Amino acid sequence: MEVIFLLIAISLVLAVSFLLLFFRANKGGQFDDNHTPAIRILFDNEHKQKVKKDQPKKT
């Protein structure tokens, strides 16, 4: 029975540590996307044409 309490404690410590590491990486800019904004301009015209076709005409 003591083993289960030990395993639960270890798993909670690991889960909290992974959560803290995730927040640290997120705050440090690890998940920032620097590539997509640079190529977004290449596809901007196609997106605007699709939106104009799908929207109803204003009176």
Is 35 inside a domain boundary?
A: yes
How many domains does one find in the chain? 1
Is 25 within 8 Å of 31 (Cβ atoms)? yes
Residue 25 makes CB contacts below 8 A (sequence gap 6+) with 31
Span 44-57, pLDDT tens digits: 665 555 555 566 66
Is 59 inside a domain boundary?
A: no
Is 45 inside a domain boundary?
A: yes
Name the pTM for this structure: 0.54
What ranges make up the beta strands (E) of the chain? none
Q: Which domain holds residue 6?
A: 2-54
Query: What local confidence, expressed as pLDDT, does residue 26 receive?
Result: 92
Is 43 inside a domain boundary?
A: yes
